[in-house]
Structure 1
Amino acid sequence: MLILEIGEMMNRRKFLGLSGTTALVSAVGLPVLAHAKAQSKASDETEVVLQIQWLGGATMLISFDGVTFLTDPAFGVGEQAIVMPNPNEMFDLAKGPNLKPQPRFGVLPAFDLGTVTATLISHSHPDHFDAAAEAQIASDMPMIATNRDKQELASKGFSNISVLPWGEQMVFPTKSGQITITAVEAKHSENPEILKVLGPGNGYFMEFEAGDYRKTLYWTGDTFPVNDVMASVQAFGEIDVLIPHAGGVGSTGALGKISMDAEDVVKMVDRLKPKSILPIHHSTFGLFLEPIWKLVQAMDGHASDLDLIAEGSHILYK
């Protein structure tokens, strides 16, 4: 274990509070993404290595060989960091939940938005794309999302959104190699009726290649380790880094659990057998119910490394 300091019941738009064939989609075919150059501000180090900085919640910077991806940006701070429907309370499913401010318990770590090549969106619920991020991110920032979330983001004024359906790929050239991203279905609930309300989401399987270096990463998005999702991920082969969304959101509410808890993450680990696990989507906001120590306890004795990093810290996968 490595520990580093450093007939829908309601309308989805109302609930969110918002006004397979496999194909290779090269970045060459994407007008703006095609010209998303490897960042000149990248490290001067000659060693090519995958680096991840966790910024809290589901927000990360994933950097490799001059390309940086921002994930699910939530930048709000303070007691009212995110104002969103509260999934952790009981409510009338026909009417929907009440809006409730969700606090961020710490500060938003410092980072340079100017180094970001593109933003990956698992889904656009307010804790995954909040009002602060909406205000700070340029409207022409390249983004990758589901078709449904493209419509939500376009309504907010974002103009450079590429849809990546489940099973399809996109390739980003790097300084000396490439990053291949494949969209994977993310099931936000194990209850089919609740899943209709919450809408579709993406997970992403990523391959980082440059010279002799190769790493694979599976970022789950808000999903559960259900058979069809796990089977599609297993088809990719060995996983070096698993990044699961934890937190046990919704376990006290009318929707039921809508993000994994420790038991679910362990089921996923047992099925996928990744080399390393980097849990995110925990601890940052009041929204998250299950403390991360429960996952530490549940992973005791497992062969996979559990990498716990503080918000703002970086981890390298060599």
Structure 2
Amino acid sequence: MASKRSITIDPSRKQAPTRDRPSTTLKEHLPPAKSSKSHPTPTTLEECNATLFFVGTATTVLEWQGIRLMTDPNFLHTGDHVHLGPGVTGTRRTNPAVDLHDLPHIDLVLLSHYHADHFDQEVEASLRRDLPIITTPHAHSHLTSKGDSESFTSVHALDAWEHMFVKIKVDVAMRTGADTPSFSSRRQQPCLHLTGMPGKHVGDGLLSTANDILGAVPPTNGWMLELGYAPTSDMDASTTDDEAFICSYRIYISGDTLYVKDLERIPELYTHAGKPIDLMLIHLGGTTIPGPHIPLLMVTMDAKQGVQLVQLVRPDLTVPIHYDDYDVFLSPLADFKAEMSKAGLGDKAVYLDRGDEFRFRVRDP
């Protein structure tokens, strides 16, 4: 079956991620990681060919085959405020590991939902308008309806279970240098396959129905991000053959969600279907609204729900993010560590602080 939805990005076209900064001052790299971590099983960092840099809250930067993919950009600083809904604000407790205007080039943004702690006011004002963004239909409608000079022009909507390919343009003639990607066949090009995963800020039941009507809390997605390879012949085609795509590393990003019944379809389609999940980025924190002093409603997983999801999805490894950057988080990372240990899963997680990186290996085709 061929997917009708695909975009192509060219990593050699290095542009500043923000529109008010000339490309001549563009940083070449992210800042050096405070600490580099990898899979707990014996391996060497030299064997790794991909990195995940943790900026803070749900913001990460993934680098592989020359591309940089950024998730949920939030670059506010300690004391800054975000609007989270009618009468609800959050105050940032931490600083990001890198400032927005010090980022190197970014090829693609993966935005789980249109909430200011995931796409803050400075990000919204500053990002260049032609930066490709994959997000929810709800966020798509907001980002593309700001008027001629302010609307984002390369936004792609994916709802739960919808999917698309992101083709990575690599010059076959240049694959022999020391700094170029390594793969075993010139007939294969690196490619990303993205599938929207279900997520709900408001749990199943009457509250969810009421929120659907009132729209107080925006709809949210998780993502299944598959790093792999597609035939070189597909690069200039308008479609990509799903069956010809070779997945070499699978990452599930939970997004801001509670543990809800819709998530139970994920292992049916992946883990139990012979498509193991290599890594899960799990959004935690037990976010509460309207705030920490009146915690009436939890809208992201706390530690216990997080472990439930680990046990359901059974990733090879889990990296928690989105756990303590705002004052609306009431379930600290220490709670998740304790629950993972209690469940006998202590060796199935890697813990990153802001500025740390996780290094891993994407298998050759």
- Residue 46 of structure 1 and its aligned partner are, at CA, apart by 9.7
The answer on 1:53 being equivalent to 2:27 is: no
The equivalences for 1:134-173 within 5 A come to 134-156=124-146, 157=150, 158-173=152-167
The answer on 1:133 being equivalent to 2:123 is: yes
The equivalences for 1:38-187 within 5 A come to 49-80=49-80, 82-85=81-84, 96-98=86-88, 100-110=89-99, 113-156=103-146, 157=150, 158-174=152-168, 175=170, 176-187=189-200
Of 292, 299, 305, the match for 2:348: 305
Larger Rg: 2
Task: State the superposition RMSD in angstroms.
Answer: 2.9
Contact 1:262 1:298 in 2 (8 A): yes
For residues 56 and 194 of structure 1, the distance between their equivalents in structure 2, rounded to whole angstroms, comes to 32
Secondary structure in 2 aligned to 1:269?
helix
- Residue 122 of structure 1 and its aligned partner are, at CA, apart by 0.3
For residues 144 and 266 of structure 1, the distance between their equivalents in structure 2, rounded to whole angstroms, comes to 28
Secondary structure in 2 aligned to 1:310?
coil
Secondary structure in 2 aligned to 1:192?
helix
Of 321, 334, 352, the match for 1:293: 334
- Residue 151 of structure 1 and its aligned partner are, at CA, apart by 1.3
- Residue 226 of structure 1 and its aligned partner are, at CA, apart by 1.9
The answer on 1:207 being equivalent to 2:226 is: yes
Indicate how the Cα distance of structure 1 residues 23 and 298 shifts in structure 2: closer, same or farther if over 3 A, else same. Answer: farther
- Residue 116 of structure 1 and its aligned partner are, at CA, apart by 1.0
Structure 2 gaps of 5+ residues are: 15-27, 31-44, 171-188, 231-245
Percent of aligned positions that are identical = 25
Secondary structure in 2 aligned to 1:244?
strand
Q: Deviations over 1:130-158 (max 9, x none)?
A: 01111221111111111111111123422
The answer on 1:283 being equivalent to 2:324 is: yes
Secondary structure in 1 aligned to 2:198?
strand
- Name the structure 2 match of 1:241: 279
- Residue 67 of structure 1 and its aligned partner are, at CA, apart by 1.7
- Name the structure 2 match of 1:9: none
- Residue 25 of structure 1 and its aligned partner are, at CA, apart by 4.0
- Name the structure 2 match of 1:227: 261
For residues 13 and 312 of structure 2, the distance between their equivalents in structure 1, rounded to whole angstroms, comes to 36
Contact 1:105 1:286 in 2 (8 A): no
- Name the structure 2 match of 1:217: 251
- Name the structure 1 match of 2:175: none
- Name the structure 1 match of 2:19: none
